[in-house]
Amino acid sequence: MRLEIDATLFNAIGQHKEHLDKADKQVDSPYNLYRNKGLTPAPINSPGADSIRAALNPSTEPDADKWLYYVLVDKEGHHSFSQTREEHDRKVAEAQRAGVPL
């Protein structure tokens, strides 16, 4: 499946931007997971200590293993996770209405 991860687009377009636009999501690159299925050909970053701790201590939330989608939900950097595309799309729309830069 196409993972559609914004973070990989910075590698695809060769720069970091405050906001990604539709043109960025069309760039021809193996790092563009809006156009390509699966994972990128190489890592996009090195994990930090928080990421390593999270991998060693996975969530105990019910059904956390079924979370397929995530979105930034506030300007403080918190994310929300969803099991279905419909739920994810609703959370994206809520974040946009709240002025979160997506």
Digit-coded pLDDT (tens) for 73-83? 988 889 999 99
Residue-number span of the structural domain to which 90 is assigned = 59-102
Gap between the Cα atoms of 30 and 28, Å rounded? 7
pLDDT value for 65: 87
Domain match, 40 and 68 both: no
The SS3 assignment for 69 reads strand
Domain-embedded: residue 50: no
Domain-embedded: residue 2: yes
Domain-embedded: residue 54: no
Domain match, 41 and 66 both: no
Domain match, 3 and 29 both: yes
Give the number of domains in the chain. Answer: 2
Digit-coded pLDDT (tens) for 7-61? 899 999 999 888 889 999 999 999 999 999 999 999 998 889 998 998 999 989 8
pLDDT value for 24: 94
Gap between the Cα atoms of 36 and 26, Å rounded? 10
